[in-house]
Homo-oligomer: A and B are copies of this chain.
């Protein structure tokens, strides 16, 4: 009788971690969506307790042995894939000494806390004082991960969010985008300068916005028996696959942010809600990577959200929510939702200028980690690249420059590329869908989104971490990452 003793023990450990992770996820969601201020200290202590427990489980010395022995057991291909992911997670968890993790927690918590006040105060010098230690920890982390994995230091950090992504590939892809993006932005801007766009008029009652968001989620196939929509200061998709909690926020003077933000988070949510059920709790059933996750939210927000047929279907919902007005005429609404305008702020950027913000960050944080530049060099580089890529002057404006993102105070180096890789994957999925289903756009025009969801469910959602990213992408779309689809998408939508 073939034995799978070690493998089975490993699955039990991961199931336990899944259960503790559940409590962590709900407590984190509650922290953002519900918690009153005086609950903060007790919540932090409770979350630290479960983090310690999880760290203990993840780094238990016997896990390494078990993984080694399980590799000798009689496993099927899905179990092998699960073991591969277990090993990856175990390596990541054990790569860093506890003292370094603690040092990082201290440094990032101090830096992030101070940054909340320094950003509005435009206080770059104050920020630098804390950020030096964050960077020092980031560099040491990168070096240790690099030594263990044989990757380059920045690459090793990126690998934590985007397993398998390599700098050579990102360099090639981003380098190509850099060639055509500024010209494309210019041509789109010229063209849009000749268009007339009617601005919608508020105010938009939060209750009406909420009802609209719920309708949109329903249209996008969100399973309300397995998730909720709530409000938080910074929208996110949280909770657990069995109970996905997405959030948004409502501003009386603007409905587009909450609506399109909800469309975005619903893309993340459907990935989670459609992960393979029978393996839930095991690494093989987890989402593949940050870029693949983002490719789902951007498939919803950008590929569908800016699609003329989809926008036409959205118009009557707006009329129902806020009453009729000229801005809600479908063609106008489409122009409104696809307007391109270079600006300082990444999270406010449109689909066309967004990659410029990512290129800039990649071109700064990589040499920063690799020691080629120092924190003092950042503002000048930032200003030069913003001018080069977007024609935007950011001199002296640290608040809307290098102080705008939480990623650096949090030591999330290597994360930024995922956003634009996600946008490229999304374009690649839709290119593949159109090849396979020639009538796709006509069906979207008729409000029939089932073919999109069916394709994503079969090719991405239910595949979870069964394959490494390269193989997943090939199986889904017939080729590896190909940025030509992203360019073609932008040209078709904005210049077609």
| Smallest beta-carbon distance A149→chain B, Å | 32
Give chain B nearest CB distance to A317 CB in angstroms: 23
Q: Which of A12-28 contact B (CB under 8 A)?
A: 16, 19-20, 22-24, 26-27
Contacting pair A49 B19 (CB below 8 A) = yes
Q: Which of A234-289 contact B (CB under 8 A)?
A: 240, 242-243, 280
List B contacts of A373 (CB < 8 A).
none
Whether B30 pairs with A46 at a CB distance below 8 angstroms is no
Contact B228 A38 (CB under 8 A): no
Give A46's nearest chain B residue, CB to CB.
B22
Within 8 A of B (CB), among A208-242: 223-228, 240, 242
Residue of B nearest to A42 (CB): B242
Copies of this chain, count: 2
* With contact pairs A16-B49, A228-B36 given, residues A42 and B240 touching in the complex (Cβ less than 8 Å): yes
How many angstroms between the C-alpha atoms of A53 and B23 in the bound complex? 13
Which residue of chain B is the closest to A227 with respect to CB atoms? B36
A50 within 8 A of B: yes
- From B16, B37, B43, B223, A22 is in contact (CB under 8 Å) with B43
Cα separation A39 to B227 with both chains bound (whole Å): 8
Query: Taking the complex as formed, is A35 at the interface, i.e. its CB lies under 8 A from any CB of chain B?
Result: yes
Let me know if A1 is at the binding interface, CB within 8 A. Answer: no
Q: A45: CB under 8 A from chain B?
A: yes
User: Using Cβ atoms and an 8 Å threshold, which residues of chain B touch A16?
Assistant: 49
Which B residues touch A102, using CB under 8 A? none
Which one of B19, B35, B49, B242 contacts A20 once the chains associate, using CB atoms below 8 Å?
B49
Q: List residues of chain B with CB within 8 A of the CB of A38.
A: 223, 225-226, 242-243
A461 to B364, CA, bound (A): 56
Closest to A45 in B: B19
Checking B27, B35, B223 against A23 with a beta-carbon cut-off of 8 angstroms, the contacting residue is: B27
Contacts of A39 in B (CB 8 A): 226, 240, 242-243
Tell me whether A377 is interfacial, beta carbon within 8 Å. no
Question: What is the CB-to-nearest-CB distance from A37 to chain B, in angstroms, rounded to a whole number?
Answer: 5
Interfacial chain B residues near A48, Cβ < 8 Å: 19
* Bound Cα distance A46, B241 (Å): 13
The 3 closest A-B pairs by CB, nearest first: A39-B243, A19-B49, A22-B46
What are 25 A-B pairs with beta-carbon distances under 8 A?
A16-B49, A19-B46, A19-B50, A22-B45, A22-B46, A23-B24, A23-B49, A23-B50, A26-B26, A27-B27, A34-B228, A35-B243, A36-B224, A36-B225, A36-B227, A36-B228, A36-B243, A37-B225, A38-B225, A38-B226, A39-B240, A41-B242, A42-B242, A43-B242, A43-B243
Contacts from A to B (Cβ < 8 Å): 16, 19-20, 22-24, 26-27, 30, 34-39, 41-43, 45-46, 48-50, 53, 223-228, 240, 242-243, 280
Known: A20-B50, A23-B23, A37-B225. 19 other contacts (CB 8 A): A19-B45, A19-B48, A19-B50, A22-B27, A22-B42, A22-B46, A23-B49, A26-B27, A26-B46, A35-B243, A36-B224, A36-B226, A38-B223, A39-B240, A39-B242, A42-B242, A42-B243, A43-B242, A43-B243
